[in-house]
Amino acid sequence: MKLNSKSFGYSTWLLVAAITSGTVLTLSCVPRHRHSSKNSADSASQPVAKVNPNEGLNPAPPPPPPAAPVPSNPKTGNVNIDRFLELWTNIHNMSNGYFSPEGIPYHAIETLIVEAPDYGHETTSETYSYWVWLESMYGKVTNDWTHLDRAWRNLEYYMIPKHVDQPTNVAYNPTKTATYAPEMDRPDDYPVALQGTVAVGLDPIGKELRDTYGYTDIYAMHWLMDVDNWYGFGNRGDGTSHGSLFNTFQRGIQESVWETVPQPCWDEFNWGGKFGYLDLFVADSKPAKQWKYTNAPDADARAVQAMYWAKKWADERGGNPTVDGIAKKASTMGDFVRYSFFDKYFKKLGCKDPSCPQGTGYDSAHYLLSWYFAWGGAIPGGGIWAWRIGSSHTHSGYQNPMAAYALSHDPALRPTSPNGARDWGTSMTRQLEFYRWLQSNEGGFAGGATNSWNGRYMAPPAGTKTFYGLPYVESPVYMDPPSNEWFGFQVWSIERLAEYYYVSGDPKAEMMLERWVKWVKKNTKLLPDGTYQIPSTLKWSGQPANDWNESSQSWDAKDANYNNSLHVQVTQFTDDVGTTAGLVHTLEFYAAKKGDKEARILCKELLDRMWTKFRDDKGISSPEQRADAKRFNEKVFVPANWQGKMPNGDPIGNKSTFLSIRSKYKQDPAFKQVEAFLKGGKPPEFHYHRFWSQTHIALAYATYGWLFPKF
């Protein structure tokens, strides 16, 4: 059963590394991954680097939580700016529940919510990136940048692994990045064996980053955090600390969130089975204790995108040293996110067999924002080794040409490394080409491409079209539900394209946006009763018409038959407020640059109708019926004879279900609705207040007030 499209606030899938004594394993993971990397003997050749100066050996104290509650701001006279300020105040009122006592933003106010995060009081790097975006806009409106400062300090302290969380990076050898493991299709295909005989390529940016910054830590966010330590992992195995970094997805494209086994990023074998959780994923007789983190590049890129605007808006008012300092950190983050540009095992593009040639430099770079990159290593006392991987899988919904533009063109955000700005400039061009290759005949953008067919470097079916050697994939990374059926990925990604167009005036972006906006207008309904409907679920057919590379491109804006072999159909509609805000935000930038009055009026109608119909005392929320709640009783695959326990004592075995290893859900006040449904009642209905959704709504109002102050 597929998830309700409204639930798809986020879906980044992980990977985990499993290391055995002497071998750095890098399990591969599409939707949920893992790896390993060769190590131990190689560590002696690596120079000792400085500790990340953002932390030092003794991390700074945590930043303070938001002041609570924040009083309402004075009215500005601009109705949509005033709506933004109302929503901003709702979010910052601590009694509304958007933030933890530590000031960490929750994924949602509500706790009983299962989507990419499997509990509402977890958080994601996506949530943090939206927080940075929210405070950037607040700075524009008020010239108060203290909230942006607090947001980035909190992000840096809690979501970027500290030096003590990634302590053995000094052992990483860019010439021996990781040990290959195939990605399988289903959870019951795991654990998988590492294959040390498969050659992996060279990491062309590892030494450059170390030499540029003087330390070997990765300055990037891990994607998932247990804010209140609901599971009980804690940090570094302490079992008690809040803001605990952990993982869920690990086992193939068919593993939905309902089939996952949560596990800590720092696995010291305190919980799980004999070897913690590692031997659920890696077939190894003696896996080693280790740490491992996975980055969702679209989130970090969104944070950079937000800082572009913060810097621009602050400079318009004479500049601000706090914003300048954060912009520098965002630049560093962008430098490290380049790991997402490379094939998972640094193989050359066009790989069709695990024995295909390994990359020796940038010949393994697709220059796109791929689904993830990951890094890991030994827990001190168990050896000195570390590994890193990129990702072979690319999705149109993750691209961000606005961030690429900022990191390649804006002096305040251009990375310090010798090749960082150059690489982001190449990425900007490549992303635009990717959009063009994937744009359907109707206007919607199709899924993506991969350099590792089926996650195992297999040969794709004959006739599959390619993008710089990467074969087309309709729904990259995951299939439960198909990753590109959610319209939200359209608005998330194309909003960034629209911002890029607004800033640059690039005719290529304009050409693609014209077709997309026409398609959206055709499929958006303003109903006589004051309600509305926008696309929700998409169905795809066909594939791009041609292979695409440097010498074979099509940019004829008048070609009405372009990609007439690739089609999209809207099969379901919605009034979901977060997706609606993303659509409005996209149309606003396009309408302002193009002078499209019809698009501007559509934006205003959607904003007004959303405010009238769905405004409540905590934000804006529409009802969601969650028939997928029947999956609380879904079986979670655990190999025969594998026995273990969660930190609270929940047993893990071959009879486990989603709920049985999350028995604390039974204590949730909202679980009564789920329980009644599981006994044959009607599906539960909730009003969710997701942080990303509320922020995007607020941004849509503020952006309209900014770009169209007279309307």
Rounded Cα–Cα distance for residues 382 and 250 (Å): 23
In total, the chain counts a number of residues equal to: 711
Rounded Cα–Cα distance for residues 538 and 211 (Å): 46
* 8 Å CB contact between 262 and 118: yes
Strand 33-36 to strand 15-17: parallel, antiparallel, or no bridges (unpaired)?
parallel
Q: How many helices (H) and strands (E) does the chain have?
A: 14, 24
User: Taking the CB of residue 226, how many other CB atoms lie within 10 A of it?
Assistant: 25
Task: List the strands of the sheet with 466-467, edge to edge.
Answer: 393-395, 448-450, 470-473, 466-467
Tell me which residue of 584, 543, 591 sits closest to 707, measured CA to CA. Answer: 591
User: Taking the CB of residue 294, how many other CB atoms lie within 10 A of it?
Assistant: 32
Catalytic residue among 363, 529, 559, 668: 529
Helix (H) or strand (E) holding 246: strand 244-247
Residue labelled with tokens 């606030």: 9
- Phi and psi based region of residue 353 (left: phi greater than 0; alpha: psi -120 to 50; beta: remaining): beta
Rounded Cα–Cα distance for residues 359 and 201 (Å): 4
Angle between helices 488-504 and 577-594 (to 10 degrees): 20
- The DSSP letter of residue 163 is G
Rounded Cα–Cα distance for residues 276 and 250 (Å): 14
Rounded Cα–Cα distance for residues 130 and 690 (Å): 11
Rounded Cα–Cα distance for residues 573 and 312 (Å): 37
Rounded Cα–Cα distance for residues 231 and 662 (Å): 8
Which segments of 161-263 does DSSP mark as H helices, in order?
A: 206-213
CA of residue 408 relative to chain centroid, distance: 21
* 8 Å CB contact between 252 and 32: yes
Q: Which residues pair with 267 in a beta bridge?
A: 290
* 8 Å CB contact between 352 and 451: no
* 8 Å CB contact between 184 and 193: no
Secondary structure (DSSP) of 21-85:
TTB-EE---SSSEEEE---GGGGGGSPPPBPPTTT-SSPPPPPPPPPSSPPPPPP-S-HHHHHHH
Q: Is 149 a catalytic residue?
A: no
Two structure tokens written together for 614:
């769905």
Two structure tokens written together for 643:
């026995």
* 8 Å CB contact between 383 and 39: yes
* 8 Å CB contact between 708 and 589: no
Which segments of 160-250 does DSSP mark as H helices, in order?
A: 206-213
* 8 Å CB contact between 619 and 697: yes
* 8 Å CB contact between 222 and 126: no
Secondary structure (DSSP) of 439-472:
B-SSS-B--EEESSBTTTTBPPPTT--EETTEEE
Task: List the strands of the sheet with 263-264, edge to edge.
Answer: 122-124, 224-226, 244-247, 263-264
Give me Rg for the CA atoms of the chain: 24
Catalytic residues: 529
